[in-house]
Amino acid sequence: MTSLLLAQDFPPMGGGIARLQGELARRYPPGELIVSTPQDPDSAEVDAQFGGAVDRLPIGRRRTKSLPGLLLWSRRAASLAREHRVRFVYCGNVKPAGYPARWVYERTRSPYCIFLYGADLLSEQHKYHHSRLKRRSSRAILGGAAALVAISNWTRDLALTVLGELGLDGHGQRLRVVHLGTDPARFRPGVDAAELRRRLELPDGRDGARWLLTVARLEPHKGIDTVLQALPAILARAPDIHYAVAGAGAAAEREKLERLAGKLGVAERVSFLGEVSERDLPALYSTAAVYVGASRRAERIGVEGFGISLVEASACGLPVVAGNSGGVPDAVREGETGFLVPPEDPAAFCDAICRLLADDALARRVGAAGRRAVETYYNWDRVVRDLRAIEAEVVAR
């Protein structure tokens, strides 16, 4: 008997959702999980790591959102479920993966659970408020799930609201919270960053520089503009500070942030690094003195459901300053692994950051607490144990 993972987002794709799906597949007992996921031109090397457990669709991610693509995925998933006698299905997101999950359930009675993140639920909420058809599909997919897995308490509360609006109030008892994690063997203090510093032209302390770091896509809800607005006041108190931002995004968003940095007179202290490879991330964290995650609610669906980069930074022994919004408080333990501040208050970010920069003992203590939290809780082994316990509970029931 095996389990099936329907993953719209899966390595080599980046991002927290793909990371979760990949780590679930990597840590599952060999031979007990099959992954069904869209085609990716760079997937061969990644898929080889999973020993044949990955079944790639003949279409890419974009086409899985079309009706022909959904039919193809649904039929392929049902075929896999029969061939491998699947007893349980992990559904990587509400849509589009929810459609083949429901299809498999209707034809094989294999129960499924759905991962819920935050922005996905906000998107569904917007759609079903404006479309009866979307309302019916959301109700069918969420209502058919044997379990719902939220990545934070904030996401759980939003899910309860969505279930209530869909007339599925009783399904709240199927809802579980599973906080995300990282790999403490990969992300750890003391990774040699000398070569990366040279390549990215990041001077170190010997050159009279300390770095603040943000690892995030260049999107409005990530709050990079808030950090830029805080930077002049930070520099007045800590003149050696530089700020590095690692992440891709729309050219227009990067240009807007660069213009803001210029307007504030801090452009020479800010480095937009673009997308940094997964391989280089541990070394990148090792270049920083403080990690800053200024996420906030923005636009219609802009929100941080948890924030994997926050626990990656903690794993590397970095103290964290983060915006108190969305699921971030579940990733940063206030006063222990970092400090939570109002997400759109540059002065509050300045005060918290400068407090850590001015007190080496405090920064070391907070960073060490973050490392312990990852070793004992915020790690993928614990995440997968929690998920397999939910699976066992559902199958037994």
Residues 41 and 13 in one domain: yes
What 3-state DSSP class applies to 175? strand
Per the prediction, the chain carries an average pLDDT of: 94
Q: How many helices (H) and strands (E) does the chain have?
A: 16, 13
Do strands 147-150 and 112-116 pair parallel, antiparallel, or not at all (unpaired)? parallel
Q: What's the pTM?
A: 0.92
Residues 228 and 331 in one domain: yes
Query: b vs e for 23-56, b when ≥16 Cβ sit within 10 Å of the residue's Cβ?
Result: bbbebbeeeebbbbbbebeebeeebeebeebbbb
Residues 226 and 315 in one domain: yes
Determine, yes or no, domain membership for 30: yes
Average pLDDT over residues 66-80: 96
- Asked whether residue 91 carries a pLDDT value surpassing 80, the answer given is yes
Average pLDDT over residues 74-93: 96
Residues 6+ apart with CB under 8 A from 212: 227, 234, 241, 242, 243, 244, 288, 289, 290, 291, 292, 353
Q: What is the pLDDT of residue 372?
A: 98
Residues in a beta bridge with 149: 115, 176
Q: What is the pLDDT of residue 38?
A: 97
Determine, yes or no, domain membership for 155: yes
Nearest-5° Cα angle at 95, 308 to 101: 105
Residues 115 and 14 in one domain: yes
- Rounded to the nearest 10 degrees, the angle between the axes of helix 119-130 and helix 132-144 is 140
Q: What is the pLDDT of residue 206?
A: 64
Determine, yes or no, domain membership for 187: no
The predicted-structure confidence for 317-339, as pLDDT tens digits, reads as follows: 999 999 999 999 999 999 999 99
Average pLDDT over residues 296-310: 89
The predicted-structure confidence for 192-237, as pLDDT tens digits, reads as follows: 999 999 999 888 766 668 999 999 999 999 999 999 999 999 999 9
Q: What is the pLDDT of residue 205?
A: 63
Residues 211 and 158 in one domain: no
Residue with tokens 């060490």: 368
- Asked whether residue 45 carries a pLDDT value surpassing 90, the answer given is no
d(CA 343, CA 127) in angstroms, rounded, equals 27
Residues in a beta bridge with 212: 243, 290
Domain enclosing residue 127, as ranges: 2-181+380-396
Q: What is the CATH number of the domain that holds 207?
A: 3.40.50.2000
Residues 148 and 280 in one domain: no
Q: What is the pLDDT of residue 127?
A: 92
- Given a contact cutoff of 8 angstroms between Cβ atoms, the answer to whether 105 and 144 are in contact is yes
What 3-state DSSP class applies to 33? strand
Q: What is the pLDDT of residue 99?
A: 97
Determine, yes or no, domain membership for 176: yes
Residues in a beta bridge with 136: none
Residues 232 and 116 in one domain: no
Nearest to 300 by CA among 90, 127, 102: 127
Determine, yes or no, domain membership for 189: no
d(CA 69, CA 174) in angstroms, rounded, equals 29
Q: What is the pLDDT of residue 93?
A: 95
Residues 34 and 66 in one domain: yes
What is the amino acid identity at position 182?
T
Whether residue 96 is preceded by a cis peptide bond, meaning omega within 30 degrees of 0, is yes
Residues 138 and 226 in one domain: no
Residues in a beta bridge with 308: none
Q: What is the pLDDT of residue 209?
A: 85
The predicted-structure confidence for 113-166, as pLDDT tens digits, reads as follows: 999 999 999 999 999 999 999 999 999 999 999 999 999 999 999 999 999 999
d(CA 330, CA 324) in angstroms, rounded, equals 10
What 3-state DSSP class applies to 298? strand
Average pLDDT over residues 330-358: 97
Pick the range with the lowest mean pLDDT from 180-184, 299-303, 351-355, 375-379.
299-303
- Asked whether residue 375 carries a pLDDT value surpassing 70, the answer given is yes
Q: What is the pLDDT of residue 260?
A: 97
Residues 134 and 175 in one domain: yes
Average pLDDT over residues 366-387: 98
Q: What is the pLDDT of residue 203?
A: 81
Determine, yes or no, domain membership for 186: no
d(CA 113, CA 391) in angstroms, rounded, equals 8
For the chain, how many structural domains are there in total?
A: 2
Average pLDDT over residues 358-375: 98
Q: What is the pLDDT of residue 207?
A: 66
Residues 127 and 83 in one domain: yes
Residues 28 and 174 in one domain: yes
How many percent of the chain have pLDDT more than 90? 89
Determine, yes or no, domain membership for 337: yes
Determine, yes or no, domain membership for 82: yes
Q: What is the pLDDT of residue 16?
A: 87
